[in-house]
Every structure is written in C-alpha cells, then in structure tokens.
Amino acid sequence: MKICCIGAGYVGGPTMAMIAKQCPEIPVHVVDLNQARIDAWNSDQLPIYEPGLHEVVMEARGRNLTFSTQVDAAIEEADMVFISVNTPTKTYGIGAGRAANLEFVEKCARQIARCSSGHKIVVEKSTLPVRTAQAVKRILSSEATNLTFDVLSNPEFLAEGTAVEDLLDPDRVLIGGESQQAIDALCDVYAKWIPRERILTTNLWSSELSKLTANAFLAQRVSSINAISALCEATGADVDEVARAIGTDSRIGPKFLKSSIGFGGSCFQKDILNLVYLCEHFGLPEVAAYWEQVVIMNDHQKQRFSERIVKTMFNTVSDKKIGIWGFAFKKDTNDTRESAAIYICRDLLRERARLTIYDPRVPVEQIRAELTYACTDSNGQISDADRHMIENNIEVVDDCYAAADQAHAIAVLTEWDEFKELDFQRVHDTMLRPAFLFDGRNLLDRESMESIGFEVHAIGKSSQKPRAED
C-alpha cells in the first residue's frame, strides 16, 4: 500500500504526517503545486504552527513521509490518493458568496485520471458539497482509459490548534463509500491506532453531508451563545454564568458555549454557506434561511463589538491608539482565515483609529494582506481611504506591552494563554486614562483588572455594574 495526498495545507499536511507516523510501513507522499509550501514542509520551519506537529513530522519525514511538487509521479505510484485541496467559497458567477468552488477538486480528479492506470482508491478529504463524489466518479470514468477506481469520502474533523491531539485520538473517523473492499482498505490504515468501534462507515452522501452538518451544528452553538451575550449585556446577566448553567444539562453539554467576538476559521462560514446553497438548490428555502441566520448572527457579533468600542470611547476613536492583542482566529494557530479580528480591525480603521497589533504567531505581511483583502470589493478594487489607513494606521509590534504603550484602549481578540500571564500593572501604567480594556474573549479576570484601574468591557457582561436597588 502506498499513499499519495494532493494538497499540503492545514488538513493534508498534519493528517498525512500522522498516518505516516502511525504506519511506518506505508510510504506517504504529500504533493502540492506550491513550491514554497513544500520547501517549508521539508525544512525546520513548517508552514503551519500546530502544537506537537513538529515532532510528528520529524519522526516520519525521510523515513516514510515525503513532501514534493511531483504530483504526477506521486499519483502514478500510489494505491490510494487523497484529495485534500482547498474548496473556498466561490467569489464569482453562479452561487457567488455561497457555493463551494470545486475548481481545484475537479482539476485533481482530471489529473488522477490522466496519470493513473490499474486500480486506485480516491479519497475525498476536502470538505465538499453532497454528491461531489458523483462528479469525481464521472470525471475519472470519462477521462481514463485503463483505470478502475473506487471513490471514498473521509472528511476530516480536526480543529486547528489541537490537530495533533485530534488526529491521535479522534472521537470518530468517518468513511463513506460503496465498495466494501475500498472501505476496508482505508479502515485498516486508521485501525493501526484508532479502535475499530470509532471508525464509522456510511454511504458516500451521508459522509459528505455529515461533515457539513457537524460544522453547522458547532457554529450554531457559538452563534446561539453569542446571541444570548447581547441580551446579557442589556440585562445584567453574565454570559459565562448562563453558559455554565445550561452546559451542566447533559443534553446540552458544556463544550462550544464560549461567547466570543464571533467564530472564524476556514470552515464554519464556508461550510454553512455551502449548506445554504445546497438547500436553495434543492428547493428548500426555509431550511436555507434557518442556517443562514447562523452566519448573519456571527457577522452581527463582530460588528457589535467594534461599535461598542467606538460608543464607549466617547463616540470616536479617530486618531486614538488601540492596542490589539491577537489576530489569529483562535489560540495556538497562525491561521487568520476569516478571523473575527480582521473585521473588527477593518471597522476600527474605517473609524480612523491607529492600531498597534500583536499576535505571537501571525507575521506582519499576513496581517496587512488580510486587511487589504477585507477592504477589497468584489471588483478587486480598494478605496484610497482604506489603502491609506492600512499603510499608515497599522503598526505590528513584538509584544503586548508595546501594543499597550500610550494606548487609549486594548482589545483582546484572540485567547492566547500568554495574555493571561502579563504584568497588568505595567500595562496599565503606560496607557492613557481612562484605560479601556475590551475583552472580546472573556479571557481576563474582570475583578482584578478593575482593581488595577482598567475600565473593562467584556462580551456578554453588562458594562455597568448592577446597582443594589435594580
């Protein structure tokens, strides 16, 4: 058995590294068109940051794990080919802003057809709309002459920041397919380290839809608690207390009830929009509207936070310095795709604030690129005003203290652990008064921050302390 994986991104890279680590007898070849990404996988500076990933790669690389740009050769040699390329939301044409762009998946299928002979098992790892396997099968059968194949769906459920843990000890592995022989071949790979009872098998379409549904349910929980956070701010209830109170109901459970500035990441929004598009396509407008509300609420949460900052700071942040702590979409990753921080920073820049940004893992070019992208309209244009703000009103610094120095306010946008360990008296001493602290992650202990002198505004917590007579 030889494995090839097309796509060395956040999913393909770590997943294949884990398979190679756990199955030393299986050669695993990860290929990508992006030479710089492959070079990074072959170096000491891996292209993505994940706790524990370096060790996994070091153990397998050079033994049975290879990274290269030799796509054709890798496909040709493999018995099992994973497709793990990006499936971003379409930005043009039919379904723009909603449907998944399947251009890269289709190109892979055509390439597999061109370079293959004999029998191959083709595994969809990328998250795909239901019935994509049908398209992959048609391409494989129409382009290839002497190829027989089986298509499997094997969606990945790992979360960034905990990818290694999730791959090592997943709640379940899902394999959808039609051929029992092909399903068994993939089960045998995972069974090297995952108990068989945790390997679920379904038909192809259930597997494809389960991935979209799992992400939609998770995102829905975040939007639900964020909706309640607005009500908490208005009423004096505390969202963390509400989350704890409802989370102890075993039917609800405690996970994914952390109120925030809104979910980010490459999956949630994309997959829900994809689900919405599918529902519309199949003539189910009410179902589509139901799920779309999860994304609408998420956008509202981001906007609400930047508006709260402006309102609280006497209705203007123009020429005020705001220290931004964290830019990644969650802690323990350098990924900024769809990070709520992008939209909050963009809104604050459009209010002419000066931003001093610190994130332990996100480099300056990436921050500027994300903000430029967020300010670019659908025709690829960016206004002079936005460009001016991105060029002149952003400074990226090396630590939280520098971000807070002479600042009118601090906004905590990512829940990095190191933000909890600071000398807050020192932070406060260097800030202007009143020293506003906007905690978008409810990361910091409000009472101790207030005792130092910060004016704290946290998500889902009323800014005014309730008076005794209320």
Which stretches of the chain bind ligand UDX, using CB under 6 A? Answer: 156-160, 215, 218, 222, 256-258, 260, 263-265, 267-268, 329-330
Least CB distance from residue 266 to ligand ADP, whole Å?
A: 5
Binding residue for ligand ADP, selected from 24, 34, 72, 316, defined by CB under 6 A: 34
* Residue range at the interface with ligand ADP (CB under 6 A); choices 100-108, 177-185, 210-218, 398-406: 100-108
220 binds, among ligand ADP, ligand UDX, none (CB under 5 to 8 A by kind): none
Q: Which is nearer to ligand ADP, 226 or 266 (CB)?
A: 266
C-beta closer to ligand ADP: residue 34 or 181:
34
Nearer to ligand ADP, 41 or 149 (CB): 41
275 touches 291 (CB < 8 A) = yes
**C-alpha–C-alpha distance, residues 35 and 346, integer Å:** 31
Nearest to ligand UDX of 73, 159 (CB atom): 159
CB 360 within 8 A of CB 402: no
Active-site residue, 156 included: yes
How far is it, in rounded angstroms, from Cα 196 to Cα 25? 20
Q: Are 53 and 164 in contact (CB under 8 A)?
A: yes
Question: What CA–CA distance (Å, rounded) separates 421 from 251?
Answer: 35
Question: What are phi and psi for residue 55, nearest 5 degrees?
Answer: -65, -40
Asked, as a colleague might, if the bond just before 47 is cis with ω within 30 of 0, I would say no
Residue 435 beta carbon to ligand UDX: minimum distance, rounded to whole angstroms: 26
Interacting partner of 37 out of ligand ADP, ligand UDX, none (Cβ under 5 to 8 A depending on kind): ligand ADP
Burial per residue of 382-400, b for 16 or more beta-carbon CB atoms within 10 angstroms, e otherwise: eeeebeebbeebbebbeeb
Among 107, 137, 368, 446, binds ligand ADP (CB under 6 A): 107
For residue 29, the cross-strand partners are 4, 66
For ligand ADP, the closer of residues 48 and 412 by Cβ is 48
Stretch 122-181 residues interacting with ligand ADP (CB under 6 A)? 126
Strand order in the sheet with 321-325: 394-396, 354-358, 321-325, 409-412, 436-439, 455-458
Among residues 23, 115, 232, 267, the one annotated as catalytic is: 267
- Is residue 252 within 8 Å of residue 217, measured between CB atoms? no
Considering only 215, 266, 269, 334, the residue that binds ligand ADP (CB under 6 A) is: 266
Tell me whether residue 211 is one of the annotated catalytic residues: yes
Mind telling me the catalytic residues? 156, 211, 267
- Residues in contact with ligand ADP by CB under 6 A are 6-12, 31-34, 37, 71, 84-86, 104, 107-108, 126, 266
